[in-house]
Amino acid sequence: MSSLTAISPHSGVLGLRRSLCVFALLVATLIGSAAHARPVDEVVDSGKLVVFAYSDYAPYSWMEDGEPRGIDVDIAKHFGKSLGVEVEFLIRGADENLDDDLRVNIWKGDLIHRKVADVMMHAPFDREVDVRNELAVLTAPYFQEQIALVYDQDVHPSVETFGRFVSKPITVELDTAGDFFLSNAFRGRLQQSIQRGRTFADSQSLYTSGEVGALLGSRAQAEWVAFKATNINSAIAQPPMPGIVRTGWPIGIAIKHDSRDLGYALGDVLTELTESGEITSIYAKYGVEWLPPKLD
């Protein structure tokens, strides 16, 4: 019960004042728990844009020789160039779910350092998630993500359905949409064939080493694996996936709820990259076909 509803009709003026003070402190605490927003003018004045990108998430973002690399990193550098500021990358692993990622990286920060970013890259553009996260805003979709399969044509001449993997091994990253689909497909008959990687890089290694002839992931990941595995006769396929909740979703950015002007400015940059064709070139650099976002 809140302090206001706990006020007795006979508590008097002093009790009312005390209760209002307690309520005000509670509100201040809730507001203070969210990191200070940085509207676009403050970002420009500071000379720095802090950008969150996922670690170990090639081809979108990863660390190599102490430097951030990937599609989202390249896009973020265009943000900095357009605003005339330096880009500082905050590279972290994924949390349990998108809500946790938004909380840790956008509006509250981690438990130890309370470090947050001005913008989060590669945020699935989901209106339900947007509504239930009042302190963050999902905006500016710039890519259409899909689920796809990369396979070795010398092992699998063609893949028309996932039934092919009832008796053939397939790898997938643990606890992903692809993993959930494979685990339940054909009433669980693929379970013995699934070789799960703790990370996507682990699954990629199983494929590039030739140990497993097929890998399920996002389409961009599949194209990246085919692009890097020059020793394998790779092909990309998207066989029917009955029962899966969704096979595609738009990807955008996330900003703090009171930094909407920064979101508009970065959205304009993404529009410019799209209209100029530069975003297609960025994706092609990593062997990935850029797909325009599809909005409901």
What number does CATH give the domain 40-144+250-284? 3.40.190.10
What pLDDT is attached to residue 3? 33
- Give, for all 296 residues of the chain, the pLDDT tens digit: 333 333 233 334 334 334 433 333 333 334 344 556 688 999 999 999 999 999 989 999 999 999 999 999 999 999 999 999 999 999 999 888 899 999 999 989 876 767 899 999 999 998 888 889 999 999 999 999 999 999 999 999 999 999 999 999 999 999 999 999 999 999 999 999 999 999 999 999 999 999 999 999 999 999 999 999 999 999 999 999 988 878 899 999 999 999 999 999 999 999 999 999 999 999 999 999 999 999 87
* Matching fold, domains 40-144+250-284 and 145-237: yes
Q: What share of the chain in percent tops pLDDT 70?
A: 86
- The pTM for the full model equals 0.85
What number does CATH give the domain 145-237? 3.40.190.10
What pLDDT is attached to residue 35? 57
What pLDDT is attached to residue 246? 82
Domain boundaries, the chain: 1-32, 40-144+250-284, 145-237
> What are the CB-based long-range contacts (under 8 Å, 24+) for 30-37?
33/108, 34/107, 34/108, 34/135, 34/256, 35/106, 35/107, 35/108, 35/109, 35/114, 35/116, 35/256, 37/256, 37/257, 37/258, 37/259
What pLDDT is attached to residue 36? 64
| 133-156 pLDDT per residue, tens | 999 999 999 999 999 999 999 999
